[in-house]
Amino acid sequence: KAGVTQTPRYLIKTRGQQVTLSCSPISGHRSVSWYQQTPGQGLQFLFEYFSETQRNKGNFPGRFSGRQFSNSRSEMNVSTLELGDSALYLCASSEGGSNQPQHFGDGTRLSIL
Amino acid sequence: GEDVEQSLFLSVREGDSSVINCTYTDSSSTYLYWYKQEPGAGLQLLTYIFSNMDMKQDQRLTVLLNKKDKHLSLRIADTQTGDSAIYFCADTTGANNLFFGTGTRLTVIP
């Protein structure tokens, strides 16, 4: 089975722009979660989608949004980019029930200039 | 909110055992996880333990859970240079949002 696939792997943007990141989960997995990893704040939960609905949300501003499609693929969007948004964005998928282990992709490294 | 803590660094000699420790604060944690992150990569799920278990063994990996003290440890037997990486513990209370520790950078000395 193919693992979690995230595209693109690297992205460079400037302040004020917006960006969309993509995540394809493991086949059969219906839950997709997004995390932000920075040296200062570590790994922080952004949100989780299940059956095209946001099921859980972390403590991030409204500039961070996401969606999930009927095939379980998910996208994450960040608008009005700030320097502090530079991070590794990780996507994880799981079967969907509670307490199911999450499997991570290799992430998208976003750099803001 | 939930707080998960780990020591930042650990160095061991090749062939020795490594023990990485983690403490958490939420008594309603249901599952606890260990992930490994190598440079430039995402998180690799190593193992996990349900909160009503004390121990779980998986080949070279042994997880010990002391629920009373909210202490979790990961023991790697016969540590190899390929085990050099950052190790994260994480917990969850049932929803699919993981709370991660700061990560422990394991360096294996040949």
Q: What is the pLDDT of residues A57-87, one digit of tens each?
A: 999 999 999 999 999 999 999 999 999 999 9
Are B31 and A99 in contact (CB < 8 Å)?
yes
* Mutate: best of B48, B92, B97, partner A, most A CBs <10 A: B97
Nearest CB among A90, A98, A101 relative to B94 is that of: A98
Could you tell me the pLDDT band of residue B18, with boundaries at 50, 70 and 90? very high
pLDDT at position B28, please?
80
pLDDT at position B1, please?
54
Buried b / exposed e along B56-89 (16+ C-beta atoms within 10 A): eeeeeebbbbeeeebebbbbbeebeeebbbbbbb
Is the CB of residue B21 less than 8 Å from the CB of residue B73? yes
Could you tell me the pLDDT band of residue B33, with boundaries at 50, 70 and 90? very high
pLDDT at position B43, please?
96
pLDDT at position B26, please?
82
- Stretch A3-15: mean pLDDT: 97
In angstroms, the separation between the Cα of residue B37 and the nearest Cα of chain A is: 10
Q: What is the Cα Rg of chain A in Å?
A: 13
Could you tell me the pLDDT band of residue A27, with boundaries at 50, 70 and 90? very high
Other Cβ atoms closer than 10 A to A100: 16
- Neighbour order of strands in the sheet with B18-24: B4-6, B18-24, B71-76, B61-66, B55-58
Would an 8 Å CB–CB cutoff place A104 in contact with chain B?
Answer: yes
pLDDT tens across A15-25, in order?
999 999 999 99
| Residues whose CB is less than 8 angstroms from the CB of residue B86 and which lie 6 or more positions away in sequence, other chains included | B36, B37, B38, B103, B104, B105, B106
Q: What is the Cα Rg of chain B in Å?
A: 13
pLDDT tens across A31-54, in order?
999 999 999 999 999 999 999 999
Mark which residues 29-68 of B lie under 8 Å from A by CB.
30-31, 33, 35, 40-45, 48, 50
Nearest CB among B35, B96, B100 relative to A94 is that of: B96
Average pLDDT, chain A: 95
pLDDT at position B30, please?
82
CA-CA distance, B106 to B19, in Å (whole number)? Answer: 10
Please count the residues of chain A.
113
Would an 8 Å CB–CB cutoff place A32 in contact with chain B?
Answer: no
